[in-house]
Chains A and B, each alone.
Chain A
C-alpha cells in the first residue's frame, strides 16, 4: 500500500489534505528516471520556445534569399531554409504554436469531457444512458475525416483548428470521468455532503471532482501528445498553420519536400518534435504509475 499520507477518498478530510496526494505522487514520480527525464526535457523545450526567439537575432519570416538553404554553421546554428530563413528561430516559433495548440485543444477536451462525464455519472439513469449513447455514436464517426473536411472548407484558421481537435478528443475523457464519478458518488462522504444540504453542483465540483483528479491528470498528460500529433498531421497535409507562420508539422512537411538536397531541414524539426512527444508520453506513463491509476482507457 501507499504511504499513509495518501488522501483516501473515504476520508472526509481528503479535501483539506488535497496537496498530500500531490506530494505523495511527486515522491514516487521522482523515482521514475524516464519520467523525470521527460519532465526536464519538456521544461527545457518550453523555456527555449518561449525565450529563444527573443535572444536570437533573426525573425521567423526574415528572409535572406541570397543565402538560400545553407547547412548548419556558426551564423545559423541549425542552418537556413530555401528562403534563407533561420531554421532555429522557425523551430522555436513553431514550438510555440505546436505546444500552444496542444495545450489549448487539450483544455477544450478536458473541459467538455469532465463536465459531460461528471453529469452523466452523477445523475445516472436515463440521462446517463442517453449521454453515453451519444458518446458511443460519436466514437464510431470517422473524426479525422471530419477534421480534414473542416480544415479544407472553413479552415486554415488556428482557432478553428484547436476547437476542432478538442471537440474530437473529449470522448475518452468523458468515459473515464463518468466511471470514476459513479464509483465515488456512492461513498459516505458524498452522502454526508448531501445530508448537509449542499447543492448538486457543489457536490460534483467541490467534493467529487477533487477525488478523481488522478485519472484526469494522467489522461490529460496523454492527450497533449495525441493532440499535437493531430495538429502536425493536419499541417503535414497542408491544412494546419499557414505560412509564413510555422509549426513543427509545417516544418516537417517542408523538410520532407526538400530532404534530398537539404536533409537538415527535415532532421532537426523531426528530432525536436519526436523528443517532445517522447517526453510527454514518458511523463504521462510515469504519472500513471505515480498516481496509481490502472488504465487510461475506459
Chain B
C-alpha cells in the first residue's frame, strides 16, 4: 500500500512538472503579451513594466525563477491586476467555485444513487425506464443547453430565481442543479449496473434467507459493493465538475476560478494562467489518488499496482 502511494505520488509529481513546463513555454511562444492590450504604452513604459516583472530576462532564467518561487509556494504577481498576487486571486475565487462544486456534487450523488438504486431494485418496470431515460438525458444534453433553458423557463418566465449573480442562497440553486445534473446521470447508470451485479450474488440471497428486510439488504449489504463503479468515476467526475464550471460560471456570471482562468488566458496574464493550471492539475491528481485508495479500502479484491 505504502509502495503504491509513493510510486503514484512520484508519478504525479512528474506529471505536474510536465504540465508546468509545457504551459510555461506554450504561453511564451504565443504572440501578444500581458501589456499589448493596454492603450498608449510607450516603448519606454513597456520596457519598465517588463523590467519590473522580470520579463526582460532570458526565458530560461525566468523559468528557473518561476520554479524557484513555486517551490516556496509563491505563484507570483498578476500582470493584469496591479498589486495583486496570484495567490490572493486564487484565495478569493476558489472558495466560490468550491462551494458550487460541492453543492453540485451533493446533488449529483443524492439524485444519482437514489435513482440508480431504484432502477436496479425495480428492474424492467416503469421506474427503471424513467430512471434510465433520465440517465440518457443527462449524458446527451450538455450543461450549456440545460443551463440557458432552465434560466429561460424558471428565471425569466416564472421569475423564481435570478437569471444570474451569486449573492443569496437562492442564487446557488440553479447553477448547482445544472452542474450536478450532468453528473447525476452517469452516477445513476453506474449505480444501477453495480447494484444489479451485487443483487444477483449469493450473499444477498443469504441475507434474504436470514429474513433481513429489503431496505436493510440494500443499505447495509448491497450499496457498499454496488457503489464501487461510482467511486472510480468520482475522481474524473470531480475534475470534470471543476472544469465544467467554466461554462456554468459564464452562464450565471459567477465570480469563480473557472471564469478567471478563461479570462486570464485571453489577457495573457502569464502567472495567473500558470497558477490556475497548476491548481487544477494538483486537484485532479490528488483526487485520482484518493479515489484509488478509497477503492482499495472498499473492495479488497482491487489489487494496487504501482
Docked pose: A225 CA to B265 CA in angstroms: 27
Q: Which residue of A lies closest to B276 (CB)?
A: A145
The contact of B284 among A140, A233, A237, A281, by CB within 8 Å, is A140
Which residues in A have their C-beta under 8 angstroms from that of B14? 137
In the complex, identify which listed stretch (B48-56, B67-75, B136-144) lies at the interface while the others stay far away: B136-144
Q: Is the CB of B140 within 8 A of A274?
A: yes
Q: Which residue of B lies closest to A151 (CB)?
A: B265
Docked pose: A73 CA to B23 CA in angstroms: 50
In the assembled complex, how far is the CB of residue B263 from the closest CB belonging to chain A, in whole angstroms? Answer: 10
**Does residue B162 face the partner (Cβ distance < 8 Å to A)?**
no
Q: Is the CB of B262 within 8 A of A232?
A: no
For chain A, what secondary structure do more than half of its interface residues adopt (helix, strand, loop), or is it mixed? helix
Which residues in A have their C-beta under 8 angstroms from that of B137? 278
**Does residue B12 face the partner (Cβ distance < 8 Å to A)?**
yes
Docked pose: A225 CA to B142 CA in angstroms: 11
Residue of A139, A140, A252, A256 most packed against chain B (CB within 10 A)? A140
In the assembled complex, how far is the CB of residue A268 from the closest CB belonging to chain B, in whole angstroms? Answer: 12
Given contacts A137-B11, A232-B144, contact A145 B26 (CB under 8 A): no
Docked pose: A282 CA to B139 CA in angstroms: 11
Docked pose: A157 CA to B99 CA in angstroms: 35
Q: Is the CB of A270 within 8 A of B281?
A: no
In the assembled complex, how far is the CB of residue A219 from the closest CB belonging to chain B, in whole angstroms? Answer: 15
Kindly supply a per-residue 1/0 record for chain A positions 264-285, scoring 1 wherever the CB is within 8 Å of any chain B CB and 0 otherwise.
0011001001100110111000
- Which B225-249 residues sit within 8 Å CB-CB of chain A? 239, 243, 246-247
Docked pose: A38 CA to B125 CA in angstroms: 22
Given contacts A153-B26, A277-B140, A281-B139, contact A137 B243 (CB under 8 A): no
Which residues in B have their C-beta under 8 angstroms from that of A274? 140-142, 145
Q: Is the CB of B26 within 8 A of A149?
A: yes
Kindly supply a per-residue 1/0 record for chain B positions 131-164, scoring 1 wherever the CB is within 8 Å of any chain A CB and 0 otherwise.
0000011011110110111011000100000000
Q: Is the CB of B142 within 8 A of A232?
A: yes
- Which A135-149 residues sit within 8 Å CB-CB of chain B? 136-137, 139-142, 144-146, 148-149
**Does residue A33 face the partner (Cβ distance < 8 Å to B)?**
no
Which residues in A have their C-beta under 8 angstroms from that of B152? 259-260, 263, 266
The contact of A142 among B145, B156, B251, B284, by CB within 8 Å, is B284
Q: Is the CB of B145 within 8 A of A145?
A: no
The contact of B15 among A141, A252, A266, A277, by CB within 8 Å, is A141
Chain B residue total in the interface (Cβ 8 A): 43
In the assembled complex, how far is the CB of residue A54 from the closest CB belonging to chain B, in whole angstroms? Answer: 28
Given contacts A145-B280, A252-B145, A256-B144, contact A154 B247 (CB under 8 A): no
**Does residue A31 face the partner (Cβ distance < 8 Å to B)?**
no
Q: Is the CB of B247 within 8 A of A270?
A: no
Q: Is the CB of A145 within 8 A of B277?
A: yes
Which residues in B have their C-beta under 8 angstroms from that of A263? 152
Q: Is the CB of B144 within 8 A of A282?
A: no
Docked pose: A30 CA to B275 CA in angstroms: 52
**Does residue A229 face the partner (Cβ distance < 8 Å to B)?**
yes
**Does residue A133 face the partner (Cβ distance < 8 Å to B)?**
yes
**Does residue A93 face the partner (Cβ distance < 8 Å to B)?**
no
Residue of B139, B140, B141, B152 most packed against chain A (CB within 10 A)? B140
Q: Is the CB of B144 within 8 A of A137?
A: no
Q: Which residue of B lies closest to A285 (CB)?
A: B136
Q: Is the CB of A281 within 8 A of B140?
A: yes
Q: Is the CB of B148 within 8 A of A255?
A: yes
In the assembled complex, how far is the CB of residue A71 from the closest CB belonging to chain B, in whole angstroms? Answer: 15
6 A-B pairs closest in CB distance: A256-B148, A277-B140, A153-B30, A152-B265, A278-B140, A270-B145
Residues of B at the A interface (CB closer than 8 Å) are 11-12, 14-15, 18-19, 22-23, 26-27, 30, 136-137, 139-142, 144-145, 147-149, 151-152, 156, 239, 243, 246-247, 250-251, 261-262, 265-266, 273, 276-277, 280-281, 284-285, 288
| 19 A-B residue pairs with CB within 8 Å | A140-B15, A145-B243, A145-B261, A148-B246, A148-B261, A149-B23, A153-B26, A153-B30, A153-B265, A237-B246, A252-B144, A256-B148, A266-B149, A270-B141, A270-B145, A270-B148, A270-B149, A274-B145, A281-B139
